[in-house]
Amino acid sequence: MGDRDTPTRRQFLAAGSVIGTAALAGCNGIFSGGGEETTSSTTSTGTTSTGTTSTSTSRDVDISNWRGSSPLVQDRPMPGGPSITEMPDLEGELTLYIGGGEGGLYQQLATLLQKHYPDFTVHTRYSAANQVLTEGQNGQVRADVFWANDAGSLGVVEDADLAASLDGDTTDLVPSRYHTDAWTGVAGRARAIPYNTKQFSESDVPDSIDAFTDTADLDAKMGWAPSYPAFQSFVTAMRVLEGEDATRSWLNGMQERGHGGMSQYKNEWYVSNAVADGEIGAGIANHYYTIRVISSRPNAPIDLAFTKNDAGALVDVAGAEVMKDTSNPELAQNFVHHLLSAEAQEFLATWSFAYPMIGGVDPVEQLPALSALNPPDLDLTKLANVQPTLDLLRQTGVLS
C-alpha cells in the first residue's frame, strides 16, 4: 500500500462560507426537507433552468454539507484529494442501481450530488447483482451505474461481461488491490472483532484468527452471523488463503469451543449490538456496525480489535462499475469519478463509517488508519466464488 502517500497530496478546500452559514445548513436541515435547497447550490445557482450552462467550477463547496452529524465526527481536518470543484460538471439523467443495506446512505450521497449540480438528475433503486444479471440476460440493463456493497457482486457482473472499463484517472485514485479495470472500490469494509470492554480488554483478543480456536477465555462467549454475506466472504477468503481443510478445522474448532458453542445472529449489526449489550463477549463482524452502535449509544461498552494478515483482517469494498450498455457513458464515468472526490469520500467516512479509498480522507478517529490494518494479500474478485463456502458451512453444520 505504498501508493497511499496521503499527507503530501492533501489539499485543503476553501470552505467558502462563513461558519454561520455552515451551522444554518446543518445536516438535519439538509436531509429533512424536500423543498429546501442546500446552501452550496443556492449561492451560485438559481432555479433549474436549462439556460445556465456556465462551466461553473466556481460552485462553492461547504464541507459541512457532506460530513456526518454524529458527535463522533466533530473536529475533523478538512478532507484532501480531488475536490468535485475540479471535476467536470455532472449533467443529464443517470440511473443508479444500489445493492445492499447501505443503500440509504449511498442514495443520500447521490442526492447531494444532484443538489450540487442543477442539470443533473439521478434515479436510484435498490437492486442487487442478481437483478443486474437477470436484466443482462435479456439485454435489458436499465442501470447506468451499479454500486454494490461487496467486491463479489461487482465481480459477477464483470464476469457476465456487463461492465465497461473505467477511466484510468478514476482507478488511479484507488490502491490497486481495491479496483480492477471494470470496477473501483469507493468504501472499505474491514473484518473486525467487536468485543465487550466490560468482559475483555484488547489484549485478551488474539491477533490471529486461527488462535481463536485455542483461546479458552472466549469459550461460549462469541457470536457470528453465518447467513450474512460478509461473513461468507470472510470464510471464502480463508478458504482461498489457507485451503479447504484448514478452514474446515477452524470452523469446527470455533463451534466446539466451550459448551455453548457460537451464538448465531441474523446479521452483523445484531452481532455487534449483542456485544454492546453483553449478551456475548466478542463477535466476528464488519467494522462499521460497531461504530454505528457507538454512534447511537455513546457509552456502549464496545470496542474493535483486528487480526493480522489473515482472513480475519480482510478488507472488502463497496464499489461501483459503469454498465456497458449505458446510453450516457461519459456521465456514468464522471459519476463514478465523483464518488472518489474528497467530498464524497468524506461523506462515506463520516456517515457510513467506511474506510475511505482515497489518500486525503481519514476514517473516523475511533478506527485505526487503513494503512495500519494488515489485510491478507488476496485478489478480492475471488470472493465471488461462494458456493464452495456454503457447502463447507453446511458440511460443518455452521449452516444447516
Partner 1 sequence: MTVRDRLIGLAEFGDERRRHRAIAALATCFALLVASPVIWMVVRALGAPPDAFALLVSPGTLQVLVNSVVVIAAVSAFSVLIGVPLAVLTVQTDLPFGRFWTVTAALPLVIPEYIGAFAFASAFGPHGAFADALVPLGVTSIPTIYGLQGTVIVFTLFTYPYVFLTTRAGLLSVDETLVEAARTLDRSSIGALREIVLPQVLPAISAGVLLTALDSLADFGTPAIMHYDTFMRQIYVQYNNYAQPGYTALLSMELLVVVAVVLVLESRVSGDANAGFSGGGSGRPGSVRLGRWRWPATLFPAAVAVLAIGVPLAILVKWHYRTGTTYAGFAFHLSDVLHSVEVSALAAVAALVASLPVAYYAARSDSPLSTVVDRVSYVGYAVPGLVLGISLVYFGTAFVPALYQTLPMLVFAYVVRFLPQAVGSVRSSFLQVDDTLTEAARTLEHSPLAAFRRVTIPLVAPGLAAGAALVFLTTMKELQATLVLQPTGFRTLVTYIWKVQEAGYYSEAAIPALVLVGVSALSMLVLLARERYDV
Binding positions for partner 1, 156-215, rule CB under 8 A: 156
C-alpha cell at 265: 445472529
Q: Which is nearer to partner 1, 293 or 315 (CB)?
A: 293
Question: Of 132-151, which residues contact partner 1 (CB under 8 A)?
Answer: 133-135, 137-140, 142
Least CB distance to partner 1 at residue 279 (A): 5
* Residue 10 beta carbon to partner 1: minimum distance, rounded to whole angstroms: 26
Residue 80 is a binding residue for partner 1 (CB under 8 A): no
Binding of residue 123 to partner 1 (CB under 8 A) = yes
How far CA 315 is from CA of 67, 161, 178, 189, 354, in Å, comes to: 23, 25, 9, 5, 11
Q: Is 27 in the site for partner 1 (CB under 8 A)?
A: yes
Helix, strand, coil shares of the chain, percent, nearest 5, are 40, 15, 45
Choice from 48, 176, 201, 296 touching partner 1 (CB under 8 A): 296
**Options 21, 31, 204, 308; binder of partner 1; rule CB under 8 A:** 31
Q: Which is nearer to partner 1, 53 or 395 (CB)?
A: 395
Residues near 332 by beta carbon (within 8 Å), at least 6 away in sequence: 94, 144, 145, 164, 322, 323, 326
Cβ-based nearer residue to partner 1, 173 or 339: 339
User: Does residue 61 bind partner 1 (CB under 8 A)?
Assistant: no
Identity of the residue numbered 81: G
Question: Can residue 16 be called a binding residue for partner 1 (CB under 8 A)?
Answer: no
Does the footprint of partner 1 cover residue 387 (CB under 8 A)?
yes
390, burial (CB in 10 Å: exposed 0-12, middle 13-18, buried 19+): middle
Nearer to partner 1, 150 or 310 (CB): 150
Where are the extended beta strands (E) located within the chain? Answer: 92-98, 120-126, 145-148, 183-196, 222-224, 263-264, 282-283, 285-286, 302-305, 315-322, 355-356
DSSP assignment of 79-103, as one string? P-S--GGGSPPP-EEEEEEE-STTH
Q: Where are the beta strands (DSSP E) in 127-266?
A: 145-148, 183-196, 222-224, 263-264
Q: Which positions from 297 through 326 interact with partner 1, judged by CB under 8 A?
A: 297-298
Residue 34 or 168 having the CB closest to partner 1: 34
- Site for partner 1 (CB under 8 A): which residue of 44, 126, 165, 308? 126
State the cell numbers at 234.
Answer: 470472510
Q: Does 281 bind partner 1 (CB under 8 A)?
A: no
295 is a contact residue toward partner 1 (CB under 8 A): yes
**Which stretch, 95-103, 242-250, 309-317, 320-328, contacts partner 1 (CB under 8 A)?**
95-103
Residues contacting 88, CB < 8 A, separation 6+: 334
Residue 193 or 230: which CB sits closer to partner 1?
A: 230
Round to whole Å and give the CA distance between 289 and 307.
17
Of the candidate spans 168-176, 253-261, 271-279, 312-320, the one that interacts with partner 1 by CB under 8 A turns out to be: 271-279
Bridging pattern class, strands 183-196 and 145-148: unpaired
Using CB under 8 A, count the residues that bind partner 1. 73
